[in-house]
Structure 1
Amino acid sequence: MRRIIILFIVALVWPFTVSATSADHPHFKADVDVTDKASLQRGARIFMNYCMGCHSAAYMRYNRMGQDLGIEDSILQSNLMFATEKSGDTMTIAMQPGDAEKFFGTAAPDLSVIARSRGADWLLTYFMTFYRDDSRPFGVNNLAFKDVAMPHVLWELQGIQKPVYRIVKKEDGTQREVIDHLELETPGKLDSEDYKNTVNDLVNFLVYVGEPAQIQRKKTGVVVILYLLVLLVIVYLLKKEYWKDIH
């Protein structure tokens, strides 16, 4: 019994411990709305132009994306399809895993379900917290993903950030240097707010890719709830009619 109580206490405390540990760097809250087709279209454009050179989304088909996002086939083929001419194809890439390992040290993961595994907030934080680190092979590091193997492909939009450090004292009395915040060193094409909105659109698109059916599922869910509410009223009135003579 004592062991069970201890495990229960640990289970209660653990989430707060993780939260405190991960609070060493800024966190960003993603504004996710898969019903916002304009945002999804902008996110799709960013994904195709900046991400899909290395990352696939093999669980998604071009024509399904076009139907869900309201993109005509002609626009889809001329603006978003660079690796194939068939709209029914899945969103794969030409780069082989072996080549990716040679170029980057690791194979670039498929991003079909990255939003479901990592979460929208983590993805937004990841895109927002690249910073210059001359010790890394591609000259950048990331607060959300330490020693990341990926270059900062959106640096032209965001610019280059540098870390600003502070000294913290550890429990044993020793001191260590930690990153306090990031500071823009070289401006990009977008200001900070526009860049955040841009990568939020990208995150929104990745959330949609993780479960394309959620658009229809949420619409259907509203209809089902309304139907059940109406049915509840009818059943209640029917119950009163059946029991009126008894009461």
Structure 2
Amino acid sequence: MKNFVSKILGGFALVAVMSTAQAGGSNFPLDTAPDRINSQAALQHGAKLFVNYCLNCHGAVSMRYNRLRDIGLTDEQIKQNLLFTGDKVGDLMTVAISPKDAKAWFGAMPPDLSVIARSKGVDYLYTYLRTFYKDDTKATGWNNMAFPSVGMPHVMWELQGVRTAKYVDEKDPHDASKTIHVFKGFEQVTPGKLKPQEFDEAMADLVAYLQWMGEPAQLERKRLGVWVLMFLAIFTVLAWGLNKAYWKDIK
């Protein structure tokens, strides 16, 4: 589970989201990320994916491992499944990579992912993670529909398998003398460890965890908010009744 190489490579995928999203763009329509913020099972699975594929290069310095208790994990489960040797449950989610190595490999220290979902949006992350495809014209051998000419490889290709993008040439509807390259979907070249639907489910869990990590108190805040609104509603009724009783004899 704690494969160092997969975690090093995992950093590349989300580096693309953070460090190069401003430099490029895409008109590719974003898929709607499933709402799983209230599912502990989804958040736990997302935490596992995050630790395995992202954490070695990207920190989450606003988060401590023991905060994962809030999504139903025990200290023992955290120790056995999510910690590196030498780390403690109370430690911050910092990266193992040194700034010197990061600069040599990436040109800069990979950004912290504590609030990536709040910064980029869950729909963008969900689409980005699921739209890698093989492209031998690129230096890494990979490309991405949500971020064309992305400079990062598809680190979860073993899970998703290898896909290519299918394009057809069509006449430009605005200029019949021109031909445009139109995307017509993906073609599976080799299967992955997960079926397509299973991979989409896994990415939905990872995005849900990134969303939760951006504000771990949000679930408790929402639960308290319901009680606060109920209290205010009852108090309003009582205040209205008191006001009516107070002024009933005053003309």
Alignment TM-score > 0.5, same fold:
yes
1:208 to 207, 212, 215: 212
Alpha-carbon distance change, 83 to 204 in structure 1, aligned in 2, over 3 angstroms? farther
| Runs (5+) with no aligned partner, structure 1 | 1-20
- Corresponding position of 1:228: 232
Partners of 1:120 and 1:26 in 2: how far apart? Answer: 13
- Corresponding position of 1:85: 87
Shift of 1:231: 0.8
CA contact (8 A) 1:166 1:179 kept: yes
Shift of 1:124: 0.5
Shift of 1:98: 4.0
1:57 to 50, 55, 60: 60
- Corresponding position of 2:19: none
Partners of 1:146 and 1:200 in 2: how far apart? Answer: 21
Partners of 1:100 and 1:59 in 2: how far apart? Answer: 20
Aligned length: 225
CA contact (8 A) 1:52 1:93 kept: yes
- SS of the residue 2:152 aligns to: coil
- SS of the residue 1:174 aligns to: strand
CA contact (8 A) 2:36 2:204 kept: no
Q: Quote the RMSD (CA, aligned, Å).
A: 2.1
CA contact (8 A) 1:124 1:200 kept: yes
Partners of 1:83 and 1:204 in 2: how far apart? Answer: 27
Partners of 1:160 and 1:206 in 2: how far apart? Answer: 25
Map 1:60-209; keep pairs closer than 5 Å: 60-65=63-68, 67-82=69-84, 84-104=86-106, 107-168=109-170, 169=172, 171-172=174-175, 173-209=177-213
Partners of 2:244 and 2:86 in 1: how far apart? Answer: 63
Letter of the 2:117 partner, please give it.
A
| Runs (5+) with no aligned partner, structure 2 | 1-24
CA contact (8 A) 2:36 2:205 kept: no
* 1:25 counterpart = 2:36: no
- SS of the residue 2:228 aligns to: helix
Alpha-carbon distance change, 98 to 176 in structure 1, aligned in 2, over 3 angstroms? farther
Letter of the 2:51 partner, please give it.
M
- SS of the residue 2:167 aligns to: strand
Letter of the 1:192 partner, please give it.
P
- SS of the residue 2:88 aligns to: coil
- Give CA-to-partner distance per residue, 1:54-112, whole Å, 9 cap, x none: 222121111112x2112111111111012642222111111134423433455432211
CA contact (8 A) 2:115 2:213 kept: yes
Task: Give me the TM-score of the superposition, normalised by structure 2.
Answer: 0.82
Alpha-carbon distance change, 106 to 150 in structure 1, aligned in 2, over 3 angstroms? farther
1:38 to 38, 41, 52: 41
